[in-house]
Structure 1
Amino acid sequence: METTKTEIGIKKENRKAVVEMLKQILADEHVLYIKTRNAHWNIEGIDFHSKHVFLEEQYNKLETVIDEVAERIRMLGFYAPGTMKQFLETSQLNEEGPEQNNTKGFFSILLEDHDTIIKFIRKNISENAEERNDDGTADFIIALMQKHEQMAWMMRATLKTF
């Protein structure tokens, strides 16, 4: 739903299409945030402390991303979804946890989710810039993709020891 008339040089139908893509990202970010919190709370093993701290850093980054995505939706003149029901209905991620509450179990699942988000964003970059005349959102999601690439790299590097 559009909030107010927003005249920013992008046609309403293009803004609406961009917002639908951003809603997908917002839903995925929320599910990943909850799964990262779960890992932070429940991880076990000899590396507990370092991974507990690492996961806290990760979910804090995701919390910032969530706010930025919701605000981008508002900048484009639409309301951001805000319920878990909406997020679960929209997200391409699932809520499944690991078989074991250790680094390998949690990081494998979280890494897969980061990779899913990275692929989705990469697929939408040129569509937003070229087809929808929204270079601002294209730049915005490129920065999001880079954040996820960094988080995924750190998890991938950690998993190399298993």
Structure 2
Amino acid sequence: MRTAIKSEKAMDINIGISEDNREKIADALSKVLADSYMLYLKTHNYHWNVTGELFHSLHEQFEGQYTELADAIDEIAERIRALGYRAPGTFKEFNELTSIDEKQDEPDAMEMVRRLAIGNEQVLRTAREALEPANAAEDEATVDLLTERLHVHSKTAWMLRSHLE
């Protein structure tokens, strides 16, 4: 069980969502945050290290993807904070929470594309799971954030898969 952020001068959070529901939502968002961060790292790594005849187009595509992910990571963490909970922020925490697989090898360009497609699909599944507690609590702000993530990751996965056809 997580502890809501409290200090001597803190005021109670009264945003129309119970503490129990806020905790469930924050826990689910923490997993989305961890998956998003790990996908960000993988995408940035591939941006730096892609080679081959598709270098230029993939280098630029990966840059757009990791830039978008950096903004999303901030939004997700801020939503967790707005719910009254600490956002995970260390690599150890992300590594414990993530469901994104990380390999320590040097794949070729098309394997990078395939792995990023798989990573985006994983973030989609994690975000869908996070919708359940957000919908149950009628937390429209979190539902809106997650709906945007679903849109972005489904489009990104489609674009990446298109390279592989």
Q: TM-score, normalised by structure 1?
A: 0.91
Do the aligned residues in 1 keep the contact of 2:32 with 2:130 (CA within 8 Å)? no
- Identity over aligned pairs, percent: 35
Task: Answer yes or no: is 1:2 the counterpart of 2:1.
Answer: no
The residue aligned with 1:50 is 57
- 1:28 equivalent among 35, 43, 49: 35
The residue aligned with 2:129 is 123
CA distance in 1, matches of 2:105, 2:160: 15
Task: Answer yes or no: is 1:159 the counterpart of 2:159.
Answer: no
The residue aligned with 1:148 is 153
Q: Which runs of 5+ in 1 are unaligned?
A: none
Q: TM-score, normalised by structure 2?
A: 0.90
What is the CA RMSD across the aligned residues, in angstroms?
1.4
Do the aligned residues in 2 keep the contact of 1:26 with 1:70 (CA within 8 Å)? yes
Q: Which runs of 5+ in 2 are unaligned?
A: none
- Deviations along 1:5-59, one digit per CA (max 9) or x if unpaired, are 2110000000000000000000001110000011101111111011111111110
One-letter amino acid of the structure 1 residue matched with residue 43 of structure 2: T
One-letter amino acid of the structure 2 residue matched with residue 50 of structure 1: S
Give the aligned length. Answer: 158
Task: Answer yes or no: is 1:80 the counterpart of 2:87.
Answer: yes
Do the aligned residues in 2 keep the contact of 1:98 with 1:109 (CA within 8 Å)? no
The residue aligned with 1:96 is 103
